[in-house]
A and B are shown apart, each in its own frame.
Chain A
Amino acid sequence: MIELFHVWKQYQRSQWALQDISLQVRRGEFIFITGPSGSGKTTLLKVIFRELFPTEGQIVVDGLNILKIPDHRIYRLRRTMGIVFQDFRLLFNRKVFDNVALPLQILGFPRKEIRHRVFNTLRLINLHHKMWDYPAHLSYGEQQRVAIARAVVNNPKIILADEPTGNLDPELAFEIISLFKEVNKQGATVIIGSHDRELIRHFGHRILFLQAGKLIGKEAL
């Protein structure tokens, strides 16, 4: 489903964010990427949805070399993915409903279907009562849940989540990962970048450990 071949990423001279990363993620797999702060988790996720281009290497998603997709066609790749950004990237001039509805509107879903799906997704993360609020009126944790709802609302084939539980209390964090597991059960491939060892240990899936941009295998948790 997702294959990385000798991927290197350099932001500045002599500073490598990713070093020779090669990995394969099978369809329907659930993976945690972990490692200390600055180890390259976010960069790794960003090259997969092509927000960043690797300095070297190739990335194949669903049989397609994503580095060869022209800019005006990149939307096709992103429509197959649900992405939870570390900084949420919510639209603060739109209500919670509109933020979550965005991927469905982009895909051209009918209004009725959009209302139905958005409400159900927000109910899953217990935010349906704040559907008509603006994100600025929500707490940090609530904003994070809205970002998660937006990522899963259209049942994407791939979910990439960068620290999706970073600001949530342990109980809610477990609920959120359970939600991702639910989506995974329905066939989605899920990759979660997280430094929360407790959480990762609890769910016990395949774990990739990054350190200074290098993939060093499974960490001894």
Chain B
Amino acid sequence: MELTVNSLWQYRGRNVFSVTIICLSFLILGVFLALSNNLQFTAKELSSNMVITFFLKKNIGPADREALQQKIKNNPLITGVRYVSAEEALRRFQKNFPELQSILENLKSNPFPASLEARIQERASASSQVLKFVNEASGLSGVEDVQFNRDWVEKMESLSRLARAVGFFLGGILILASFFIISNVIKLNVLARKNEVEILRLVGATNVFIRIPFLLEGILLGALGSLVSLGILFLVIKFFPIYLGPSLGALQELIRFRYLSLSQSFSLIAAGGGIGLLGSASSLARFLKT
């Protein structure tokens, strides 16, 4: 290990170069992975708060409303149904859009219909059964209209998948490039220490004994590169919202910037180490053959 650290220090110029390249490659992968995580999380948040709103006809009586509420509640996809009166709907509007107060003041009557808000099981929100239920429910007596916006959730999920795919594609290409760079850096290190390798062979060292310090070097370079990229990513995620400031407005709460999960972070470090190991192993295999 001491030997590996000495060698890393001795050839620090080219080692810093290779760590930088690995770091950039993993940073790109990490950025897209974090983006995908955030979109995924937002989509999940949206779908967990997803409700189907049944706007009721004005002339519906309390008994019919009760019956309709019970009927909706009986569906296994629905976890709860809440009645929102026309007055409550008005109050909500006034609270959420205070700047539009003047419009309401000009109206003589309450324009909002009463509604039933049905909360859907989190897992079922994406299923076709929900869409089927929405279609059927729109024909029920006493129901004026049904509102169910899944578009945003679907868009978020598609974007998340896209971000992940782009990340893996770009990151993959760059990681492949880092593999060749590590491979060549280790090859240069081996060539610089050709004499040493020769002496080790002459005093009876096995190929494994000769290889180990170089393999450790590759692992350290790779792991260090990915570790630095995680550090940079952490700083970006921490300070990016501060840089954006209040411009995000109401979205700030929805789009919180989340770091990679612990398992993802460890996977990236392990991948860095793995790339380093493979890079050095491939250059050593070629070198030690001769």
Contact = CB atoms under 8 A, between A and B. Distances in A.
Interface of A: 49, 51, 72, 74-76, 78-79, 81, 83, 85, 89-91, 93-94, 102-103, 106-107, 150
B196 A93 contact: yes
8 contacts: A74-B201, A78-B203, A83-B203, A91-B199, A93-B196, A106-B203, A106-B206, A107-B204
A84 to B, nearest CB: 11
B10 A106 contact: no
B205 interface: yes
B101 interface: no
B203 to A, nearest CB: 5
Contact of B10 (A74, A85, A93, A103): A93
Contacts of A83: 202-203
Interface string B200-235: 111111110100000000000000000000000000
Given A74-B201, A103-B203, A106-B203, 7 more contacts: A51-B202, A72-B206, A72-B207, A78-B201, A83-B202, A89-B198, A102-B200
Contacts of B85: none
B141 interface: no
Interface string B1-40: 0010011001000000000000000000000000000000
A106 B202 contact: no
B260 to A, nearest CB: 39
B6 A78 contact: no
A128 B10 CA distance: 27
Contacts of B209: 106
B289 to A, nearest CB: 9
Contacts of B6: 93
Contact of B202 (A49, A72, A93, A107): A49
B196 A78 contact: no
Nearest to B205: A106
Contacts of A79: 204
A46 to B, nearest CB: 10
Contact of B199 (A49, A89, A107): A89
Contacts of A94: 3
A70 B204 CA distance: 14
A49 B202 CA distance: 8
A215 B218 CA distance: 50
A214 B199 CA distance: 29
Contacts of A49: 202
Contacts of A90: 199
A78 B204 contact: yes
Nearest to B195: A89
What 6 A-B pairs are tightest by C-beta distance, nearest first? A79-B204, A78-B204, A75-B204, A89-B199, A106-B205, A75-B206
Nearest to B3: A94
A94 B195 CA distance: 13
A71 to B, nearest CB: 9
B156 to A, nearest CB: 56
Contacts of B198: 89
Contact of A75 (B196, B199, B205): B205
A103 B206 CA distance: 11
